[in-house]
Amino acid sequence: MMMMTTTDPTSDTQETGHQHSDSDLLHRLATPTELAGLHRLLEIRAEQEGLLDVAYRTVDSPVGALLLAATGTGLVRVAYEREDFDAVLETLAARLGPRVLRAPRRLDGAAVQLEEYFAGARTRFDLPLDRTLSNGFRGQVHAYLPQIGYGSTQSYREVAAHLGNPRAVRAVGSACATNPLPIVVPCHRVLRSDGGLGGYLGGTQAKTTLLGLEHAA
Amino acid sequence: MNMMQPFEHAVTEHGPTVLRVVRAVLGPGPDADDAWSETFLAALRAWPDLPEDTNVQAWLVRVAHRKAIDVTRGTARRAVPTDLVPDRPSTTGLPESAEPDLWAAVGALPERQRLSLAYHYLGGLRHTETAELIGGTPEAVRRAAADGIRALRRTYAPEGAPR
């Protein structure tokens, strides 16, 4: 935002009538393309100097735009657009540190593997993961989920039983609903015991799309 | 309470402002690009310790002022006059600024007018804050900024000419 309306006891009121055109004039002194180049340099230097708590990028996919975020340890968050990317980034800043920068390079590996997955050419992910956002019983559920193989499904009840806590069906459901790494950690492969789809943090349409993709491949 | 906002917000929101300021101070080109990069790297380092109620734009403009001085000192041996528009290629890898005439007009301003315009009109600092950075009284800074913007309008978009 240009601060053309700065209130200042010494400001020059006779300039007021020109403020809009001045704003136009002065805005032409930096263009978006020039800033894109500078942003890329900033990403590289910030990464070199180890200054980033979280690097992120977005990718397009058959289930809509996805936000990918990584710490120095690994992929820490995959988010659906319906989760609101700005809100997700604010949560990441609060929990992992505010040095959060759009820096796609750290996410190259994740982006490539997701592309391969959506092309039907990858059935499991092989990425360093940062599990910081998964705690307690939910963390146990998230750690278990990759054992449900590509193209197969389990019920919430079965997952609870596998974890030695067969009555924790609802807890498994809420763990799936708060999975910080959807798709990569396959909570979409968990269905209701009666065969119903169950909920999904990316929306039931996304869940159907992912299951359809895995069955078709 | 310290800053919890993602740093990217600051880059997206204030990156253009800082670029205009350092270009007005140093001329569009590699020196301004360097000052922009150093400003945001320094800001990224300091970000977690910044009080949450900081006026981020004014803070960044002050950092940019210091970095512009550093860049000027670093290039003093090469004797690049800061009030001329350099024609060296930009490190952004893109063609020189899209508005060469406008930059020539900014570069042609007397230094006090150009700096006052940079920090007040482009950077959004108050005249009192600008005076703290570049010296002189707030009133003198106010006059210089007003003269500068008037000269820029006259040179670049004469009365009656389409803008």
| HSE-up (13 A, CA, CB side) for residue B67 | 24
Residue A52: closest CA among chain B residues belongs to which residue?
Answer: B44
Number of domains in chain A: 2
| A152 shares a domain with A211 | yes
For chain B, the farthest-separated pair of C-alpha atoms sits apart, in whole angstroms, at 52
In a domain, B163, yes or no: no
| A153 shares a domain with A108 | no
The answer on pLDDT for A7 being more than 70 is no
Distance from CA of A39 to the nearest CA of B (A): 8
Ramachandran angles phi, psi of B28, nearest 5°: -70, 135
Task: Map tokens 């054992």 to a residue.
Answer: A147
Which residue, of A118, A152, A184, is where some domain finishes?
Answer: A118
* Cβ separation B102–A25 shorter than 8 A: yes
In a domain, B2, yes or no: no
| A112 shares a domain with A166 | no
In a domain, A172, yes or no: yes
In a domain, A151, yes or no: yes
| A158 shares a domain with A114 | no
Q: Provide the CATH number for the domain around residue A156.
A: 1.10.10.10
Distance from CA of B112 to the nearest CA of A (A): 17
Distance from CA of B94 to the nearest CA of A (A): 7
- Which residue range forms the structural domain that includes residue A189? 136-216
Taking CB atoms and an 8 Å cutoff, what residues of chain B touch A3? 57, 123-124
In a domain, A101, yes or no: yes
Of A34 and A207, which is predicted with more confidence?
Answer: A207
| A161 shares a domain with A197 | yes
* Cβ separation B94–A25 shorter than 8 A: no
In a domain, A86, yes or no: yes
- pLDDT for the residue B159: 52
- pLDDT for the residue B100: 75
Ramachandran angles phi, psi of A16, nearest 5°: -50, -45
Q: Best interface-test mutation with A: which of B7, B18, B38, B127 has the largest number of A CBs within 10 A? A: B7
In a domain, A15, yes or no: no
The answer on pLDDT for A10 being more than 60 is no
Q: Provide the CATH number for the domain around residue A93.
A: 3.30.160
Q: Provide the CATH number for the domain around residue B53.
A: 1.20.140
* Cβ separation B24–A29 shorter than 8 A: yes
Which residue, of A118, A146, A168, is where some domain finishes?
Answer: A118
The two three-digit tokens of residue A41, written as one number: 């340099």
- Which residue range forms the structural domain that includes residue B65? 7-156
| A208 shares a domain with A154 | yes
Which residue, of A118, A150, A184, is where some domain finishes?
Answer: A118
Q: How confident is the model at residue B47 (pLDDT cuts 50, 70, 90)?
A: very high
Number of domains in chain B: 1
| HSE-up (13 A, CA, CB side) for residue A120 | 8
| A144 shares a domain with A211 | yes
Write out pLDDT tens, residues B100-109.
778 888 889 9
In a domain, B162, yes or no: no
* Cβ separation B98–A39 shorter than 8 A: no
ipTM: 0.85
Q: Hey, which residues of A are catalytic here? A: 187
Q: How far apart are CA B23 and CA B119, in angstroms?
A: 11
The answer on pLDDT for B77 being more than 90 is no
Share of chain A above pLDDT 90, in %: 79
